[in-house]
Amino acid sequence: MTDTPARPEPPPSALSAAYWEGLRRGELLLQVCANCGVPRHYPRLLCCECYHDGVHWCAASGRGRVHSWTVAHYAYHPAFAAELPYTLVTVDLEEGPRALGRWYGGALAIGLPVRVRIVQREAGPELCFEVADAAAS
């Protein structure tokens, strides 16, 4: 057991409770407008196409492409100091919205096909992405 401080936990929010429940089950869920079917993320109250507030929570395909990334070399929260350097990747999901996840793979490029992988950690589920081809093999 190390004395690494715990990662920050997401503050509870009624709007996004279903999202976190999904991640804990190993599913990436997106809000889909119950009226017009447009998906949205991060969770918010209204559909900005039709202003309806009803949603269905639908599992994303998990497929996407790299939009951008950064490699953290400095820890602004002590929980991450032992993980340096670590990579955060922004992904265009197939459904349209984006997601931010951790990346444990190699070199990144805009447009690289990736797929989601959810790792259950002590502080909660961690959204990760990995190269799509490697996961398919």
Q: Which residues bind other proteins (CB under 8 A)?
A: 7-11, 13, 16, 41-42, 67-77, 79-80, 83, 85-86, 88, 90, 97-102, 109-110, 123-124, 126-127
Measured between alpha carbons, how far is 112 from 107 in angstroms, rounded to an integer?
10
Measured between alpha carbons, how far is 124 from 69 in angstroms, rounded to an integer?
22
Least spacing, CB of residue 45 vs Zn ion, in Å: 12
Cβ proximity to other proteins: between 43 and 131 the closer is: 43
Least spacing, CB of residue 42 vs other proteins, in Å: 5
Q: Position of tokens 């949603």?
A: 55
User: Choosing among other proteins, Zn ion, none, which partner's interface includes residue 13 (Cβ < 5 to 8 Å by kind)?
Assistant: other proteins
